[in-house]
A and B are shown apart, each in its own frame.
With several copies, the nearest count.
Chain A
Amino acid sequence: MTESATHNTHLPLSDAEVLRIRNDFPILETEVNGRPLVYLDSGATSQNPLSVMEAEQEYYEQRNSAVHRGAHTLAVEATDAFEDAREVVAAFIGAQSNELVWIQNATAGLNLIAYAFGNASVGKVSEAAERFALTAGDEVLVTEMEHHANLIPWQELCRRTGATLRFIPIHDDGTLDMAAAATLLNENTKVLSFTHVSNVTGVINPAAELTAMGHGVGALVVLDACQSAPHLPLDVKALDVDFAVFSGHKMLAPTGIGGLYGRAELLDAMPPFLTGGSMITKVTMEEAEYLPAPQRFEAGTQPISQAVALAAAANYLTETGMDRVHAWEEFLGQRLVRGLEAIEGIRVLGPASGAPRAGLAAFEVAGVHAHDVGQYLDAAGIAVRVGHHCAQPLHRRLGLNSSTRASTYLYNTSADVDAFLASVAEVRGYFGVDGTPA
């Protein structure tokens, strides 16, 4: 076990404890452009602790094999590791293990749902699958703050089925217009899909309330938990959502793995998406019969070692304590916003300081393009994300094309935030747009 085992989970996180946590993350010790790395891009992808890398290494050195297929010992051990991982990760989000489907990433998970609904909408399908079918007149409702991953799959589903895509608008401060949501939801709404936390504004949507509203009109409710599962205690049962997706690489795990939660009853009724080996019972040249969920949705050789690594990451987070992680990031998020608000020429997207937000902040620098801001910070060793963050409609709504985003995680200190703020304060001067001669 690495350092993390020594955490005192009774106290809130502190800079001192974060410094201990950082020992588990070798990449955080590297230098960039001759400066110690200040990694503030965990909203895009997070870094992996040693225990996660070791879990994967151990898997390849001791029990790598195809799962659910062989009678030999390695295959049994690989299968155990794989299914144990499912149990750990399912528990991490409050689900049962038969309700967790492995996916490549959240994007694939949202596509899985949209395509399965699409498959229920063409040709002969089972009676159970009919509830997922969409036709002209049906509506899919999303929000104006969605990541492209929770928007385009629905656009394409609507294109294929003739259903109509609608969206809940946002207020100027980035929060969702709940009054509009109430008006837009109606008996034609078959699907309500929304992000738990915005990856741009840091807004935390009232997920339980929205879900209840969606269920009130009989809609299936899909939660994009990409920015919540890694950062706050997530309980899909408590929220009562029907589906949820998240990506491993945003929560201390490798790329190539993620999770799709679906209520058991729904997963079992839903038609398959990807087809092939390991998800069937009986196959003839003419047709195939499918296994129950979750196997029905796991065609072909699965990302086994990545699932094992994701479970190690979930364990790392659980051992640290998700409530502590959340509280620490709330603290960092407020520090970010307060600091940015104090710098001239900066406009923070989303809620002002004091209002609830996740541990991230996107902003505009008057007169300096986001890519130039990012480049300046990079020269100081500070890694942030620039661009539209896969949320073009949201940026357009807020009147800009791109922004700069700093996003924190459990391994960031207040010193990271302060170094970032100090650098941002220099940007307009460097580019000669602060009124002083350049």
Chain B
Amino acid sequence: MSSLDSLYQQIILEESKARRGGDLPNDLLAGNDLPENVGQCHQLNPVCGDEITLRIETEGDQVSGIHWAGDGCSISMASASILSDMVVGLNRAEVDALMSNFREVMRSRGKIQADEEILGDAAALSGVSKFPARVKCAMLAWVAAEDALNQTR
């Protein structure tokens, strides 16, 4: 597989079109008056100007819903889509573990092999780590989710 093909794996191209969770309505973008169990975060990728606004809903210790709005490259959209699918249902500790594993793989410059057991579909994003300029794309939704989750109680 060429390194381009490892970057744009079939699942990435599909997820970038699926945009699961990409249904945050416009009138919620401001994120005012959030209840305690909801957190929301806006992230901008300064390199390209792409943006995402991501909302996380929790029930007790668990993530019960993710909704986002935004536009960006296929990597960033696929990453948001996969994240939305994976994180709902996890508890905080599980999300934390997932996040730090994902971040570690992304920053490894191709040196750390993704563990599909841990990362699931997100393992398909591991090709990104060989393209330092695109790591921000893959991380965008994750950084937003981490921050949003930290706002909830």
A binding-site residues for B, Cβ under 8 Å:
33, 68-71, 75-76, 79-80, 280-282, 291, 295, 368-372, 375-376, 379, 386-388, 392, 401-402, 430-432, 438
Q: Which residues of B contact A376 (CB under 8 A)?
A: 4
| Contact code string B9-38 (vs A, CB < 8 Å = 1, else 0) | 010010001000000000000000000000
Q: Which residues of A contact B119 (CB under 8 A)?
A: none
Cα distance, A178 to B10, chains bound together (Å): 49
A-B contact pairs, 16 of them (CB 8 A): A69-B47, A70-B133, A71-B134, A79-B132, A282-B44, A295-B46, A369-B73, A370-B73, A371-B137, A375-B4, A379-B2, A379-B3, A388-B48, A401-B71, A432-B17, A438-B13
Please determine whether B44 and A371 come into contact, CB atoms closer than 8 angstroms: no
Please determine whether B44 and A402 come into contact, CB atoms closer than 8 angstroms: no
Please determine whether A387 and B46 come into contact, CB atoms closer than 8 angstroms: no
State the 5 A-B residue pairs at the shortest beta-carbon distance, nearest first: A369-B73, A379-B4, A371-B73, A372-B74, A76-B133
Please determine whether A401 and B74 come into contact, CB atoms closer than 8 angstroms: no
How many residues on B have C-beta within 8 angstroms of the other chain's C-beta atoms?
A: 24
* Residue B72 interfacial (CB < 8 Å): yes
Q: Which residues of A contact B71 (CB under 8 A)?
A: 401
Instruction: Given A71-B134, A76-B133, A438-B13, check contact A431 B74 (CB 8 Å).
Output: yes
With both chains docked as a complex, state the minimum distance between the C-beta of B140 and any C-beta of chain A, in angstroms: 12
Q: Which residues of B contact A386 (CB under 8 A)?
A: 48
Cα distance, A438 to B15, chains bound together (Å): 13
B binding-site residues for A, Cβ under 8 Å:
2-4, 7-8, 10, 13, 17, 44, 46-50, 71-75, 131-134, 137
Please determine whether A71 and B49 come into contact, CB atoms closer than 8 angstroms: no
Instruction: Given A371-B48, A375-B7, A402-B48, check contact A76 B74 (CB 8 Å).
Output: no
Please determine whether B10 and A401 come into contact, CB atoms closer than 8 angstroms: no
Cβ 8 A contact of B13, one of A33, A71, A402, A431: A431
Cβ 8 A contact of B46, one of A79, A291, A369: A291
Q: Which residues of B contact A281 (CB under 8 A)?
A: 44, 46, 49
10 more CB-based (< 8 A) A-B contacts, given A370-B73, A375-B134, A432-B13: A280-B46, A281-B44, A369-B74, A370-B48, A371-B137, A386-B48, A392-B49, A401-B48, A401-B71, A430-B8
Cα distance, A336 to B74, chains bound together (Å): 26
Cα distance, A372 to B7, chains bound together (Å): 10
